[in-house]
Amino acid sequence: MPSTPVARTEYRRYLRGKTPWIVGLCFVLLSRLPAPPGSEEIEILTDVVALVHAQVAVAVIVPFAATALGFRAIIQEREAGTARILLGTKLTRCRFVLEMVLGRGLALLVPILGGTVLVVGYDAVQYGHFSVTVLVGFLSLSTVYVFAWTGMIVGLSAAGSSTTRAVIAGSVVTISFAFWDNVTLAFLWQIVTGSPPGNQMAYPAAFAIAKWVSPMSAYNVLTNWLFGVPVGTDPAVSQVSDAISDTGGFTPTAPPLPAWSGVGFLLVWPVVSLLGGTAMFRRADLTPSGGTGVFRTLVDHCLSLPWFSGHRFRRTTGRDGLVDALPGSWQPLARREFSRLVRTPLVWVVGLLVLAAGVAGLSPDRYVQNALGSRIPLAALQTPLGFLGGFGVLFGTFRTVIRERTTGAIRLTAGTGVSRTATLVGFVVGRACGFAVPIVAAVLLTCLVAVPQYGVVPLTTFAGFLVFTLVFVVGMAALGVTISTIVRSQSVAGVTVLLFAVVHIAWYSLSNAIYGTLTGTTVTGFAPPENPIYLFVRWFPPLQLFNVVTNAIIGVPNSAGSATGVISELQPNYFSNIVVARIDYGVDVPAWYLHPGVSGIQLGLWFVLPFGLALLLYRHWSID
């Protein structure tokens, strides 16, 4: 172990905790999820077949484990004041960041390498093939991969000015790169080139190179090169099976770049993140204020305009106004949370992103335009509202109660006449209203932009869509406040939100694995089983249920896919993993529990039950 005090302290602190055990357990469990290689793949892989399950586990576990370990590495020390003490010695800021990378990277490396040895040993006995040379090379590449992700996340932590921003930056980067091939790149490619990935997409050679950009993709490229299988961004078994299915025999195609160029894609991101993060850290105050002075000044000027400061507006929202006439004692707290939140950039960034994504989706294929007509803006807003709006609200609420405890403000609130139940209700209502303003504005503006081309959205459809959107915002705020109430650590709360996002994005694969485990039947969305329970599992998460209900409001067949995707699925010779009940079961509602109304109740339970548990616990726990 190097004689570096910060690195040594971080390494020992995390190695003595629960983190290595959790990471190691997740590593072993994840290595068992992929389907085992077939006889043809085993014959081609030979000595490296024992490493294919470990390859998948390392590629997937490291990004999220590194984010959980590193997103508060620097900002935590600044907020706690320990960074000022440490940097009062001969330790420089640059060395401080590098030692954080070294200490936390080593702490993560121990369970990753240990889990790799266990998984490879088990698979070597199972398949009867093993290569020491390839194992050493694989462990070396995995070590580089661990430090690459740790360096990138710690660099983002060094650049952040608050825990919330560090969580958002780390989560966005991790999710974007972890789902680079299937989600992020396809979305960016359609925006940049105007053509979605497929047989007719523009610049296919450039798209093949762009798939290597993600650190996870670069790691798969390098390990596939080490294994001697077709070089690509998918795991080794997928690369081999694709080569067999594409050519009818094992005839690999040449990669778009030399395999060794994957080293550059793997290392460029941590280098850029560390250089940028360290440069910002060197200029920043050691005690972050999280201030947004210019933005707050702008919002204050806007709120002082006659429309906001007029007598009618004060009669509704001011003291002794209509809001205060509502039952309960939560109104002052809700007003405070609303005022605090609308003066931060987060809510307006969420609104702008929803607006931009909604406007970008106003030019679907001709058959979608013919099917939806004036309802196209609602279909264009469906995914941005569910994904960007939903997770934006979560990121804006997961620290609500934790911050009150940390700053001691919760004692002042408890010393007033506001009950604990009213406190949580005030947090939810205030924060939900803060997000509702820009989100409603984004919905209205998107529909207005679409009027010249598609006409006015039917008022009843628009009203139902808008009301349900507001209910969804309130529910996600309740879920965020619930996390903030039950979880008492900012780090754990941030990781919880990150895992919540990951589960939603990866739910297609997870739902198939869950259904397969429960029934013993291997399924995919391309060939759903006859049992409607499969759809119940597919539609279980909140964002999937949001699509089910909004599809019913927009007037498209019953499905958890987006309205545009459902219309596309109805076209001849179009195949995707979206499951539309009418296509696969002959009717829109094959079972009562798949009715959109029941899905709305399920979505409500997702919000009400956790919030009820938070109320119950908060009323009996210590206020601190």
The DSSP line for 155-204 is HHHHH-SSHHHHHHHHHHHHHHHHTIIIIIHHHHHHHHHSS-SSTT-S-H
CA distance 50 to 121: 8
Highest mean predicted confidence (pLDDT) among 17-26, 258-267, 410-419, 487-496: 258-267
Query: What is the pLDDT confidence band of residue 219, given thresholds at 50, 70 and 90?
Result: very high
Non-local CB neighbours of 618 within 8 Å, separated by 6+ positions: 401, 420, 423, 424, 485
Global confidence as pTM = 0.74
Report residue 622 CA to chain centroid gap.
32
Mean pLDDT across 2-18: 79
CA distance 386 to 554: 15
Query: What is the pLDDT confidence band of residue 623, given thresholds at 50, 70 and 90?
Result: low
Does residue 520 register a pLDDT over 90?
Answer: no
Structure tokens at 438: 């820009």
CA angle 108, 112, 117 (to 5 degrees): 150
pLDDT in tens, 331-360: 888 888 888 888 888 888 889 889 988 888
Does residue 472 register a pLDDT over 70?
Answer: yes
Asked if 472 contacts 38 with a C-beta cutoff of 8 angstroms, the reply is no
CA distance 123 to 125: 5
**Running DSSP on this structure, what letter comes out for residue 74?**
T
CA distance 162 to 442: 27
Asked if 397 contacts 340 with a C-beta cutoff of 8 angstroms, the reply is no
Q: What's the mean pLDDT when you consider all of the chain? A: 83
Query: What is the pLDDT confidence band of residue 328, given thresholds at 50, 70 and 90?
Result: low
Does residue 305 register a pLDDT over 70?
Answer: no
Structure tokens at 475: 């529910």
**If you compute the radius of gyration of the chain from its CA atoms, what whole number of angstroms results?**
26
pLDDT in tens, 128-158: 888 899 999 999 999 999 999 999 999 998 8
